[in-house]
Every structure is written in structure tokens, then in C-alpha cells.
Amino acid sequence: MAVLMIPANPLAAKQMTRVRSSASRKDHAIVKEFREGCAAPLPVLRQVAEGIAADMRKGLNGDGGHSLPMIPTFVNTLPSGLKVQLGGKDGRVIDTEFEQVAIPQDLMFGTSEELFDFIASGLGTFVQKESGKFHLPSRRLREIGFTFSFPVKQTSIDSGILIKLTKGFAVSGTVNDTVGTLAGARYWDDDAMVAVILGTGTNACYVERMDCIPKLQGHLPANGDMIINTEWGAFHDSLPLTEFDKALDAASINPGEQILEKTISGMYLGEVARRVFLKMAESGAMFGGSAPDKLSTPFVLRTHHLCAMQQDQSSDLKLVGKILSDTLGVDNCSSSIREMAIDICDAIVKRGGG
Ligand code: BGC
């Protein structure tokens, strides 16, 4: 039930838009239905795994009607090189240096030239700042690899055409990171054959035998191996989806695409939860029939908020209350609403983990 507190002093009324939110039966029903929709018991997981395996086979054959592109990368040897200091065959990786640079929102919707200029200048600044231990002997040129976190149809080892942008990017006028991950893994373990990315997006690549890639036969020698970029984030068949997943997809810049990615990866987890909270607010139960502006803002709730809420161990779920208030504008939540918020986060996180 939602109770609006109207102050006696009308001047204070403007500031006092606080609403006390407590859970109703309707809220419980929304959360229950959502939890059931997110459940990933063994038979469901098995069905999804079989669906992915079937699509992988079709993708390697080059048949139509499948969601996984299974892109040949033309990479057949692994590795040698990251921005790391190597200690020889036995010493492996001695040191690494890295820096994270967030891509400004406006560049996500600008031109490809602006985006790549930004990446190149960030890299230039990083190289200039490097510490002494990474300096190369004179006359030795630095060798550099570049991982591009989007699906590229490779035409050779060092050329390719961008298939599409994912993860909320929509730059215009353009032309992959799993292979870089597998290459990096080889420094630690010679037997690494598969690399999985569970980050802002999701993807996997693995080492395949050339004779198991029918779509390449006749084009390349049939012996040896090649790394295949599965682009499994695109999987969609037999994937159970809740109404919130479907609405998120419909409102996205790439509807109908990257469906597995939209249900399990970091870019989207907070947004799924926000949509559940919004329904609770709009149904009139949790928040008096109207949602605060923040709660109506897409992508305002991020994955780190979701994880922080799910891990709140305090007896009064203080952090949950703070995030609901600061991030979503839902003030003064009762303990039952806080507990339901945890249930929602838990369902999303467990489904992603499944
Ligand atoms: C892209 C993949 C990439 C993955 C992880 C997905 O959105 O389609 O190419 O490997 O994100 O960054």
C-alpha cells in the first residue's frame, strides 16, 4: 500500500514528495510470477544447452535458420603478446599494466571515426604514461594487438567487416575480444581451449578442428585447427523469457537480436530489475499509482546496484533502501518491499549464473 504524506505547510509540500511504500498482494503476485519466469531448473538448462549445441552445428555447416553465426576467425595459432611483461617459457607473465577508460555516451551514438579516434588517443596516452619496466630496447618496435568487442565477420587474420553493434552502441559508418581472452588464457594454461566472456556482453570462442567446419571446406586446408567465435549472445531459441525481457528487447536499439545476452549480461541485468519495480509502481500497489521520474528512466539501475542489493546483509536492509531511494527515487520503502527487491535481484542474478 502507498501512503502519500501531505504536509500541513503548503510551502513544504513541494519538497515533501516522499511516499511511504509497502508491499501489497499485487506486488507479491508480480514478484512471484517473475521469479517463476526466471527459474532455471536442470531440465530448462539442459534444453537451452541442447538448443545452443544444435545451433552451433548448424552455424558451422553454414545452414540458414540458426541464431549462432559461428564466425571463423582465421586464427590458428595462439598466442604471443598482450601488454604484459613476459618472463620466458617458464616465467610466463611477470607483470601487466592496464587502465580502464569509459566511452562517453555521446560517442556511442556518434560516428565510427569519432569512436575510433577516442580509442586511439586513449591508447596513445596510456602508452606514453607507461612505467619504466615496459620500455622496449631501442630500435625495437612495439607490437600491439587489438580486441574489438563486437561481432566481426573476419575475411582474414587481420581484416573483417563489422556485422552489427551490440551492447547499446549505435555508431554509424563502420566496418573481437573472445579470441584475445583465449590468447591471454594460454599464458596461464597451455590446455585452454575455450574462452567465455561474461561482462557487459557475453560471448565464447573455442578451438575447432578444421575438418569440423564444413562451411570452410574447399576454401582452406582441411587439416589443423581454427578458433571459432560463436557469438552465443545471439542465441534465442528455446530461451524462456519473462514479459520484462520481452519489453526490454522491444525497446532496445536491436530488437530481436542478442537475446541470450539481454537475459544474462551486465549491460542489461539492472534494466530487467528496473522494469519489474516499475510495474509494481504502476500497478498502483507499491507506489501509489505513479512512478517517480528516476524509476521511469531506462538503464538508471545498473548491475552493480543489483549486486549490492542482493548482497545486503544488514538486518534492516539499509543499502537496499538507499539504492531504491537514491537511484530509483522510491523513498521510505517498508521492509517487505526491501525484501521483495532482494528477491527480484536474486532471481535475475541466479538466472544469469545458471
Ligand atoms: C559482442 C561480442 C563480444 C561480447 C563480449 C557481445 O555483445 O557481440 O562480439 O565478444 O559482447 O564483449
Residues 36 and 75 reside in one and the same domain: no
Residues 257 and 341 reside in one and the same domain: yes
Residues 212 and 343 reside in one and the same domain: no
Relative to the CA of 152, which ligand 1 atom is closest? 9
CA–centroid distance, 289 to ligand 1, in Å, is 38
Task: Read off the CATH number of the domain in which 292 is found.
Answer: 3.40.367.20
Residues 203 and 77 reside in one and the same domain: yes
Residues 78 and 222 reside in one and the same domain: yes
pLDDT at 285: 65
Residues 223 and 319 reside in one and the same domain: no
Q: Of 191, 210, 230, which closes a domain?
A: 230
Residues 77 and 208 reside in one and the same domain: yes
Point out which residues pair with 3 in neighbouring strands.
20
Q: Of 230, 250, 280, which closes a domain?
A: 230
Mutate to test the pocket of ligand 1, among 73, 176, 261, 262 (most ligand atoms within 8 A of CB): 176
CA–centroid distance, 67 to ligand 1, in Å, is 14
Residues 331 and 272 reside in one and the same domain: yes
Rounded to the nearest 5 degrees, what angle is found at the Cα of 213, between the Cα atoms of 222 and 191? 85
What does the pLDDT look like over 254-306, one tens digit per residue?
Answer: 999 999 999 999 999 999 999 999 999 888 667 666 788 999 999 999 999 99
pLDDT at 124: 84
Question: For residue 3, is it within any domain?
Answer: no
Ligand 1 interacting residues, C-beta cut-off 6 A:
149-151, 166-167, 176-178, 197, 199, 201-203, 231, 233, 261
pLDDT at 77: 74
Q: Of 205, 230, 255, which closes a domain?
A: 230
pLDDT at 27: 87
Residues 205 and 273 reside in one and the same domain: no
Q: How many CB atoms lie within 10 A of CB 317?
A: 20
- C-alpha cell of 233? 549472445
Relative to the CA of 201, which ligand 1 atom is closest? 11
In degrees and rounded to multiples of 5, residue 170 shows phi and psi of -145, 40
In degrees and rounded to multiples of 5, residue 302 shows phi and psi of -105, 170
Relative to the CA of 151, which ligand 1 atom is closest? 9
pLDDT at 154: 77
CA–centroid distance, 232 to ligand 1, in Å, is 9
Mutate to test the pocket of ligand 1, among 67, 75, 147, 149 (most ligand atoms within 8 A of CB): 149
pLDDT at 266: 92
Relative to the CA of 164, which ligand 1 atom is closest? 8
Residues 261 and 243 reside in one and the same domain: yes
Enumerate helices (H) and strands (E) in the chain, giving the number of each.
13, 10
pLDDT at 5: 34
CA–centroid distance, 27 to ligand 1, in Å, is 35
Domain that holds residue 255: 26-40+239-351
Residues 277 and 327 reside in one and the same domain: yes
| Per-block mean pLDDT, blocks of 10 residues, the chain (354 long) | 35 41 80 94 92 94 82 75 61 70 79 85 81 72 72 77 70 63 82 91 93 86 86 91 97 93 94 95 72 92 94 94 94 89 95 86
Nearest in space to 260 (alpha carbons), one of 346, 198, 170, 328? 198
How many domains, the chain?
Answer: 2
Q: Taking the CA of residue 276 as centre, how many other CA atoms within 13 Å lie in the half-sphere pointing to its CB?
A: 30
Provide the phi-psi class of 164: left if phi over 0, else alpha when psi is between -120 and 50, else beta. beta
Residues 159 and 203 reside in one and the same domain: yes
pLDDT at 3: 32
Q: How many CB atoms lie within 10 A of CB 306?
A: 25
What does the pLDDT look like over 3-29, one tens digit per residue?
Answer: 333 333 433 333 334 445 566 888 889
Report yes or no: 234 and 67 within 8 Å, Cβ to Cβ.
yes
